[in-house]
Amino acid sequence: MMEHDHILYRLRFDDLNGHRIHVRLRIPHPDPNGQTLFLPAWIPGSYLLRDFSRQIENIQAFCGNSPLAIQKTTNHEWQCAPCADAIDIDYVVYAWDLSVRSAHVDDRHAFFNGTSVFLGVSGQEQVPCLVHLSAPPAKDDWRVYTSLPEASHHAEAAERHGFGMYQAPNYDALIDHPFELGTPYYIDFEACGVQHELVFTGLVPHIDLERIAADVKKICEAQIQLFEPETQYVPVLDSSDRYVFMTVVTADGYGGLEHRSSTALMAARNDLPTLHCDPDKKTKGYQDFLGLVSHEYFHTWNVKRIKPAAFAPYDLLRENHTRLLWVFEGFTSYYDELMLWRSGIIDQATFLERQAHVIGLVQRTGGRLKQSTAESSFDTWTRFYKQDENSPNALVSYYSKGALVALALDLYIQHHSQNTRSLDDVMRLMWQRYGRDFYQGHPIGIAEDAMPSLILEATGIDVTELIQRYAEGREDPPLQELFAYHRIELKAVVKDPTPTLNVRLKDTVNEVQIVTAYEFGAAHQAGLSAGDSLVAIDSLRVRSQQQLQQLLERYQAKDTVQVTVFRGDELRHYELSLAAPLADHFELKQLP
């Protein structure tokens, strides 16, 4: 393998305490008229412009051994002066974002996504890339975990989990394999013949790796068999022979971001099982973690290969609008739970309980009557990832309501096909037509208006009206009727008989603050607003949500109370009529 045929990135981690990555980029054949460089403005899977370029420090360019002029021309692009020789670009990335989206470096570990670190070479996005990682000083025990393949034919090739040279066929692949460096907890397993690695960074005393690996293996195999029931083909890419789950463990973290042969996760320490746990008991926290694993692994097919046409290919410097995230995130949210049940991780009763929870979440969101899941999909760049105190009144989640639309479609298809077809048939058709060969040749994506015809072709069932009303429109799916077809009872229940202010609250130091006043609720009608700090109810001081709950238990719905709040530094008094508790929790029960 000749370096002069590849774009080469050399990464050093000499300043862990300063949270910095030093990068030298060599471009063997720059544009003779002056080379343009760029850094992605966002990371696929997280639909918000994040301006990663703001973390680049001290960028310099060299033509041979001579300094070369380089100037930033837009928020995300740089222009080099013309050079007849190879160009070297030296720069530093500040890495102190403990999330799945960016980069985080300290004396315990280094995690980074390529979208935060690797400058792209405009016009040469299809040129193969090499990445050389140098071990940090005095970190001889650190290892490297990534799904990016080792550059096996290079003189500096890395060994498995070692520092050295890695390779990518192009820039798109380069930025789609995150790295975790350090001394994490580690275990691997095989699913349908392919190695899967589990990596946990952070302190988790007595973590039960064997149990987690056994459960994740079941989920992976169930999903592989859904998409490839005959071949059990696992679509790891770029000559990688493994799939990597890399999890950062914190006190209360939760989140994930999918990649083509790996996923980055955050999990709460107490959600993970320990060696002393009852092996037959799965806490809700552990179910939630496995649901997150299931969700991100399902994206291996749905989003990373099967894509909307707007993502084929990505434009990494600006928003890529689509109205179909209710399919790509909503369907995935439905299947992440369904796969827990199918794999035997949870039973049917637990699956129904978790579906009922999602129904309640959506029903408590007044914004579902103002925004459709298709509109939510399109607006994700400016609204969903920038939520404020009014968002529950104005927005709906294409994740949660999208999952309910998927559930409704599945129940409808099963019933009207006499249980001979299901949403599985739709997913397999989408995979065969749009996903299996996505990275071979010229990728195509799903057109914005294609879902009704795809579902009709896959199942023989016309769901055009359902999609128009419940995905493109703002109506609630008729889940009670659809569940009844399958002898499952859905009913709304009052979880707490205490009268309510119709607000969302948070505890701060010795006070309770209103986060959201729900539209047309008791607080809204009385004049209370988000940001108000509750001081007292009928002259009795309120210091916590628990204390407020105890106070309200003394009243009945429609009772009038005097509410005292601070709005900023002004003390205000309001007369409020307490609202009846809402039947906004749900139960699902399989009938005999």
Identify whether 587 is part of a domain: no
> What tens digit of pLDDT does each residue of 380-409 get?
999 999 999 999 999 999 999 999 999 999
> What tens digit of pLDDT does each residue of 13-36 get?
999 999 999 999 999 999 999 999
Identify whether residues 105 and 115 lie together within a single domain: yes
What is the rounded average pLDDT of the residues 459-487?
Answer: 98
Provide the pLDDT for residue 501: 97
Question: Is the omega angle on the peptide bond into residue 313 within 30 degrees of 0, that is, cis?
Answer: yes
Identify whether residues 174 and 37 lie together within a single domain: yes
pLDDT higher than 90, residue 360: yes
Identify whether 226 is part of a domain: yes
Listed range (4-8, 260-264, 333-337, 429-433) with the worst mean pLDDT: 4-8
* Domain residue limits at 329: 301-486
* Residue 415 contacts residue 427 (beta carbons within 8 Å): no
Sheet (strand 56-63) strand order: 66-68, 56-63, 87-94, 20-27, 7-15, 129-133, 164-168
Identify whether residues 170 and 189 lie together within a single domain: no
User: For 346-368, b where at least 16 C-beta lie within 10 A, e where not — what string?
Assistant: beeebbbbbbbebbbbbbebbbb
> What tens digit of pLDDT does each residue of 307-321 get?
999 999 999 999 999
The pLDDT confidence band at residue 277, using thresholds 50, 70 and 90, is: confident
- pTM score over 0.75: yes
Identify whether 519 is part of a domain: yes
- The candidate with the shortest Cα–Cα distance to 416, out of 354, 351, 481, is 481
340 C-beta neighbours (distance < 10 Å), count: 25
- Measure the CA–CA gap between 555 and 298, rounded to whole angstroms: 48
Identify whether residues 79 and 111 lie together within a single domain: yes
* Residue 148 contacts residue 179 (beta carbons within 8 Å): yes
Identify whether residues 398 and 514 lie together within a single domain: no
pLDDT higher than 60, residue 281: yes
Task: Identify the domain boundary among 164, 182, 200.
Answer: 182
Handedness of CA 377, 383, 389, 391 (dihedral sign): negative
pLDDT higher than 60, residue 149: yes
User: For 470-489, b where at least 16 C-beta lie within 10 A, e where not — what string?
Assistant: bbbebebbebeebbeeeebe
Which token pair is 237?
Answer: 């890419």
The strand pairing partners of 500, in sequence order, are 579
pLDDT higher than 90, residue 12: yes
What is the rounded average pLDDT of the residues 96-113?
Answer: 97
Burial class (CB in 10 A: 0-12, 13-18, 19+), 320: middle
Identify whether residues 521 and 548 lie together within a single domain: yes
CATH code assigned at 534:
2.30.42.10
Listed range (371-380, 439-448, 546-555) with the worst mean pLDDT: 439-448
Identify whether residues 91 and 154 lie together within a single domain: yes
Provide the pLDDT for residue 3: 66
Identify whether 585 is part of a domain: no
CATH code assigned at 196:
3.30.2010
* Residue 303 contacts residue 332 (beta carbons within 8 Å): yes
Identify whether 38 is part of a domain: yes
* Residue 581 contacts residue 557 (beta carbons within 8 Å): yes
For the chain, what percent of residues have pLDDT higher than 70?
Answer: 99
Q: What is the dihedral of CA 375, 381, 383, 385, to 10 degrees?
A: 120
CATH code assigned at 31:
2.60.40.3650
Identify whether 530 is part of a domain: yes
Task: Identify the domain boundary among 280, 315, 342.
Answer: 280
pLDDT higher than 60, residue 1: no
* Residue 55 contacts residue 95 (beta carbons within 8 Å): yes
462 C-beta neighbours (distance < 10 Å), count: 12
- Measure the CA–CA gap between 146 and 180, rounded to whole angstroms: 7
Which token pair is 249?
Answer: 């463990």
Identify whether residues 135 and 263 lie together within a single domain: no
Backbone angles phi, psi at 145, to 5 degrees: -125, 120
Task: Identify the domain boundary among 280, 311, 342.
Answer: 280
Identify whether residues 26 and 171 lie together within a single domain: yes
Alpha helices in 364-422 (DSSP H): 373-378, 391-394, 400-416
Identify whether 210 is part of a domain: yes
Provide the pLDDT for residue 442: 74
For the chain, what percent of residues have pLDDT higher than 90?
Answer: 94
Residue 570's alpha-carbon distances to 513, 532, 565, 567, in angstroms, are: 14, 10, 8, 5
- Measure the CA–CA gap between 326 and 404, rounded to whole angstroms: 10
pLDDT higher than 70, residue 8: yes
- Measure the CA–CA gap between 293 and 209, rounded to whole angstroms: 14
Provide the pLDDT for residue 465: 98
Give me the residue label for tokens 């294409």: 398
Provide the pLDDT for residue 364: 93
Identify whether residues 468 and 395 lie together within a single domain: yes
Identify whether residues 350 and 339 lie together within a single domain: yes
Provide the pLDDT for residue 280: 78
Average pLDDT, the chain: 96
Strands 129-133 and 7-15: parallel
Q: For residue 32, what is the DSSP state? A: T
Provide the pLDDT for residue 130: 98
- The candidate with the shortest Cα–Cα distance to 258, out of 299, 289, 288, 294, is 299
Handedness of CA 409, 410, 411, 416 (dihedral sign): positive
User: How many domains are there within the chain?
Assistant: 4
Provide the pLDDT for residue 2: 61
Identify whether 433 is part of a domain: yes
CATH code assigned at 368:
1.10.390.10
Identify whether residues 110 and 139 lie together within a single domain: yes
Burial class (CB in 10 A: 0-12, 13-18, 19+), 45: buried
> What tens digit of pLDDT does each residue of 223-269 get?
999 999 999 999 987 777 899 999 999 999 999 999 999 999 999 99
Give me the residue label for tokens 């637990």: 350
pLDDT higher than 80, residue 10: yes
